[in-house]
Structure 1
Amino acid sequence: MIFKVISQARTFVYLFRHSLLLLCFLFLAVASSIYNGIQLEDAIKLAMYFLTILFASWLAINLSVDDLVEALYRIGAVVLVAHVLLFPLVGSAIDYDALHRSTVLGTEPYAGVFGHKNIAGSFFAMMSLISFIRLLSSKRSRPWSALFLMLHLVALAAAGAAGAIVGLAGATVVTIGIYLAAASNRQIASVYWLAIAGLVLLMLSIPQEDMYELVGRTAGLTGRSFLWSVWPYFFWQKPWLGYGFGGFFSSLSDAPVTELTRMAPWNTVYASFENSYLDVLLQFGILGGGVYIVMMLVAIASAIRFAFGSAEGFRLVPIGLLTLTVILGINDSSLMLHNYITCAITFWCYFGPEAQLSGAEARHAPLAVRGA
């Protein structure tokens, strides 16, 4: 990866030089971590996080959206086959849920090659969404897209990841709405969004416990409600620069997480606050976390602009995947994990799908992010 970046050094320099928000975020992340005395282990993870951002920029420069979608589609098919073949070997041998909750299928959770049900859920939710968009966009591949859509949905349901199911539902709703609007079906799109608004209002009138029960969860959200309730106590101790990357959940004996453990029911040990936005604010404070959230908004604007202005067959994929990523971030810390697909998707959209900068002239597609 590093050698590929070096070979296109002038292009990458141009892209990052015109990404002022990202440069501010990187500076504040490093400053916060140094100020708080980052440990070597966390420094390596932070460097790998930066490399994930670099990989996202490489995708934006070198691959068209259609090429990336086709690559992910094929990867999803291969992983699905391996996932199914592993079931007889590890399906009942590994406990993927310590609370032994059943899935929406009534079965024990199965994460297969992923090792954790939430990672499996995120992956199959993304593959389901990609298959669905291929179904909408390409008549030639509809039978295969429909088949893999159904198979990925079954794998998602079998993983037992409630957050991924909710995220996929939300991303699908947004994707269909933008599909109708981008296809100039403005009247149909207006009726659709009015119907969605009515459905949301109806859902708000349903008791919370009943809503959680639909996806097999309780109002406690597996300890998340406790974590989110005590988060402000820790945040306001270091509001501006935060605790640095990994500083709060450090392995040091006097790390702030030890106080969280003492406060938690049954002295539960946590590795994050199970919310990407709370985690980024805790690690980098109002300054770094605020810049990160603005970058997310830029990424959303870039993906929407691409959906309406591109001639690519799969132009709905960036906004669909980004919507899924944004929703998943509410329920887990995936956006702050290095080498994680949701992190790469976020920055891919931030740089602008298909930046495709070329050499010294750095000519780019109309939808590349400009000066963000």
Structure 2
Amino acid sequence: MNDRSTARPFEHAFAIVALFLFSGVVYAAFAVGSDIGTKSGETLLYKAVWATICLTLWYLIALRYRSVLPIFARNFPVTLFMFSYIISEIINSGEFGDTIRLVLLLSTIAFSAWLASVFSLEQIYKLLVTTFFSAIVAHALVVGLFGSIFEADAMERKNFLGLEIVLGLFGHKNQTGLLFGISFVLLYAISTTFRGTNNHNIIRIGAALSGLFLLLSGSALAIVMVLASLSVLVWVSSLNSKNRVWLQVATVITFCGAVATAFDPDLLFGALGRSSDLTGRTPLWDHWHESFLDQPWFGYGYTGFFVENGPARLLAYRLGFAGPPSNFHNSYLDIGIQTGAFGLLLMVAIIWLALWRGTIIALNSRRMTDVFPLAMLVGLCVYACGESNIPTHNNFATVMFFTLYFKITSLYGSLENRRNRRRPFASPAPTLPPRNRATSLAAEGRVPGTSSDMPKVS
């Protein structure tokens, strides 16, 4: 797959609208006017909008099947990963499962494949920048006029500025922090790479506003994600530059932070306003193996673990919870519950390939925007340790993860092709001995004025 511009105007518009909806910035708007207690995802308007998005997506994929299908053929771990959900759903269809949500999940991954096949990496950056600025404007207007629609925090904690947590129309503070955290990292990378351009100041303002909304969200997990991404971004970028001061500073800070965390983990969690049990997550993780071993090979299906009277109820009973947990708040543990060992091993392979290929690409580049895919993937993998967002249907983290994976695979293939054409380490071609020339004819057999080895032609 080449990395050329092939998108049509309608595809540009659809991509921006879909990314805006995936971001979750207007999620709570779907519940406005509904009965009290009705979730946004349960309203008729929400279902109608996403049904329209999915139908349009599959229509565009049908038009681009020659470029979209090869992506799944080349990235067979992702294809097998999707099939693991289908197999698990078929096995558990009689007891657990939700086919509609599974279709939405597969459509979310398919959207990432379509996005990676139609748009180049630079175009995807432009789409994301447009989406982020639209989200910043929408979020600022909603917060200024209405504040937070949903309850920001049941424990009534403050954000990192000592103020009330601000959500706007987002459904959860971690979703708010995720969007503006990714926005901050990308806009920072763009502003650093393209200094002196016409839009440089606008990009910097967008990065500053993204950082402000990130702090107002009160999401400690998003802060950790941003710190991890920025560390990789600055560290790898400094390897390809003449000035390596940033590398030395980042190394010292990372070493000191690792030593402090090793001796007293509460220092890190306390600085982020969280307890050492990750706000009640670790007690859930301690009982994960009990549910996993009941269905170790193919799991319970995408939503089978959390259906009424399902294993989540039993887990809540064991832990003495008033109600069942919504999930394990860990993407990797939830993948093991949903698809069993088969899907979990595939996810490990996907992450390994993404990080390895992303590192090769980053080390062969000189721009910070080329390092962004690797840095953001590292941040998303860290984020997945504390939240169940990869893979999740209609979720921005899932879209970003698989889109970056597909683009990294494409760029890695292009890099390998260039290396094969150049053959820098190939052995030189062997020197062939000179061929024996034909014996010259006798002098009397030559025409005057002709070469000595040219025979006479009668």
1:6: how far off?
1.1
State the match for 2:414 in structure 1: 365
Structure 1 residue aligned with 2:292: 235
Q: Hey, what does 1:143 align to over in structure 2? A: 201
- Between the aligned partners of 1:151 and 1:38, the Cα distance in structure 2 is 49
Structure-1 residue corresponding to 2:171? 115
The 8 Å contact of residues 313 and 323 in structure 2, kept in 1 or not, is answered as no
CA contact (8 A) 2:149 2:168 kept: no
CA distance 1:14–1:257, shift in 2 (3 Å): same
Structure 2: 5+ residue runs without aligned partners? Answer: 1-56, 418-458
Q: Does 1:61 align with 2:117?
A: yes
Is 1:96 aligned to 2:152, yes or no?
Answer: yes
Aligned counterpart in structure 1 of residue 238 of structure 2, from 177, 180, 188: 180
What pairs up with 1:29-178 in 2 under 5 angstroms? 29-37=85-93, 42-91=98-147, 94-139=150-195, 140=197, 141-178=199-236
Which of 314, 318, 321 aligns to 2:373? It is: 318
| Pair 1:210-2:267 in alignment | yes
- Among residues 181, 194, 199, which one is paired with 2:256 in the alignment? 199
Q: CA deviation at 1:28?
A: 2.1
Q: Does the C-alpha gap of structure 1 residues 306 and 285 become closer, same or farther in structure 2, counting only changes over 3 Å?
A: same
Distance 1:127 1:174 in 2: 16
CA distance in 1, matches of 2:95, 2:180: 34
Structure ranking higher on relative contact order (CA contacts 8 Å, 6+ apart): 1
Point out the more displaced range, 346-355 or 24-33: 346-355
Name the aligned partner's letter for residue 166 of structure 2.
Answer: Y
Question: Identity of aligned pairs, percent?
Answer: 25
Q: Say if 1:152 and 1:197 are closer, same or farther in 2 by CA, change over 3 A.
A: closer
Structure 1 residues 269 and 153, CA gap change in structure 2 (3 angstroms): same
Q: Distance in 2 between matches of 1:189 and 1:242?
A: 45
Gaps of 5+ in 1: 357-363
Whether 1:222 and 2:282 are equivalent positions in the alignment is no
Q: Which amino acid aligns with 1:350?
A: Y
- Conserved in 2, the CA contact under 8 Å of 1:302 and 1:350? no
Q: Distance in 2 between matches of 1:321 and 1:109?
A: 25
Higher-Rg member (1/2): 2
* Corresponding residue to 2:357 among 282, 290, 302: 302
Does residue 287 in structure 1 map to residue 345 in structure 2? no
TM-score, normalised with respect to structure 2:
0.73
The answer to whether residue 53 in structure 2 is matched with residue 4 in structure 1 is: no
Q: Does 1:276 align with 2:276?
A: no
Q: CA deviation at 1:55?
A: 1.1
Verify the 8 A CA contact 2:159 2:217 in the aligned structure 1: yes
Residue type matched to 2:217 in 1?
A
Question: Alpha-carbon deviation of 1:248?
Answer: 0.7
SS at 1:79's partner residue? Answer: helix
State the distance in 2 between where 1:354 and 1:238 align. Answer: 32
In structure 1, which of residues 1, 20, 32 is the aligned counterpart of residue 76 of structure 2?
20
Q: Give the residue type in structure 2 aligned to 1:28.
A: S
> CA 1:39 to 1:319, structure 2 compared with 1: closer, same or farther past 3 Å?
farther
* Coordinate RMSD, CA, aligned: 2.4
The worse-fitting range, judged by mean Cα deviation, of 94-103 and 84-93 is: 84-93
Residue 259 of structure 1, aligned match among 290, 299, 314: 314
Greater than 6 Å deviation, 4+ residue runs: 38-41
> Deviation digits for residues 36-69 of structure 1, max 9, x if unmatched?
2267972111111111111111121121222211
Letter in 1 for 2:312: V
Q: Distance in 2 between matches of 1:5 and 1:366?
A: 26
